[in-house]
Amino acid sequence: MATATFFVTTARSGTQWLTRALNRHFDDLLEARHEPVGYLYRPRRTLRDPAALERLRAEPAVAAHFDHIHGVLAERAYVEVGFPAYALAPLLRAEFGEKLRLVQLVRHPVKVAASLVTHGWYCKGAREDIAQAVAPTPTDPGVTLKAYASRWPAMTPFEKSLFYWYEVHRYGKEVEAASPPGRFARFRLEDLTAAPRARDALRRFLGLPDRPGWTAAEQRRDDRFRAKTDEVIDPAAITRHPEILALAEELGYAPQDIDAAEFAARYVRSPLERLRAGLGQARRRMGLR
């Protein structure tokens, strides 16, 4: 039986790399697509809201996309890799039944949050499509950390991104509890990129054959959107949010995993980089190359 696999994951969690690896090694057995409908699933609006999920299913673009998936399943497996589907589990169960498989893909929360800040999440001037469709806030009906509403105005974009990481993966735990045996699996990105055993476990969960090269799939992640930020990012800020810290530890992470110097070099622009960026902007404003 061909299966349809969707992911419960956050943005900036290696989904580009994973899609590329699946297509490189198994493109004759499956169709692997990376966020094929963009933010159409609107997880901020559909999280834990059955009525909103029903309305979503009735939208012509979603109906057409699901019809496409059913067509694929008549011949081979379908894997949709990407973060916009994180709130869809109830709808997907109703749509695909026993063919559905769900994967929770986790990455260190501090790295996810920092990477999100480099892309402007929760920052002044953030992209409206992400703010409206994807990035939750404590006043949204579907979130669990509603008590964060009182502290929200004082939280940094980095801390707000940690909140997003928490909400996605706390929901992932609920999805796990509601899933029949054998139809849900959780993987850490760090293991998939470094441990052949983890990649082999993912292969087996997807029902794919053992092939040369898969367990040694390239460790260098395909990231076309790597960036840096001028925002202040304090990795230790996670310790000020006990609920988020507890979930991180439950999923195998700890703040001390972060090398502060390496972290800063990866995510925060140095004074020289800021100067170069400023000069580049000035030259563009003057029409110079």
Q: How confident is the model over 179-193, as a mean pLDDT?
A: 97
Q: How many CA atoms lie within 13 A of 248 on its CB side?
A: 26
Question: What is the spatial distance between Cα 235 and Cα 218, in angstroms, rounded to a whole number?
Answer: 28
Is residue 227 very low, low, confident or very high in pLDDT (cuts 50, 70, 90)? low
pLDDT value of position 275: 46
Q: For the chain, how are helix, strand and coil distributed in percent, rounded to 5?
A: 55, 10, 35
Q: How confident is the model over 43-62, as a mean pLDDT?
A: 98
Residues facing residue 79 across a β-bridge: 5, 32
Pairing of strands 100-106, 184-188: parallel
Q: Please provide the average confidence, as pLDDT, over all residues in the chain.
A: 90
Q: Is the pLDDT of residue 1 over 70?
A: yes
Q: Which has the minimum average pLDDT: 17-21, 49-53, 109-113, 224-228? A: 224-228
**CA-based nearest residue to 117, from 166, 155, 85, 159:** 159
pLDDT value of position 217: 59
Is residue 125 very low, low, confident or very high in pLDDT (cuts 50, 70, 90)? confident
DSSP 268: B
Is residue 165 very low, low, confident or very high in pLDDT (cuts 50, 70, 90)? very high
pLDDT value of position 272: 47
Fold of 4-258: Rossmann fold (3.40.50)
Q: Is the pLDDT of residue 278 over 90?
A: no
pLDDT value of position 259: 73
Q: Is the pLDDT of residue 282 over 80?
A: no
Q: Is the pLDDT of residue 98 over 70?
A: yes
DSSP structure string for 6-38: EEEE-SSSSHHHHHHHHHHHHTTTEEEEESTTT
Is residue 258 very low, low, confident or very high in pLDDT (cuts 50, 70, 90)? confident
Report pLDDT digits (tens) over 62-77: 999 999 999 999 999 9
Q: How confident is the model over 17-21, as a mean pLDDT?
A: 95
Q: Is the pLDDT of residue 12 over 80?
A: yes
pTM of the complete model: 0.88
Which tokens is 179 given? Answer: 């899933």
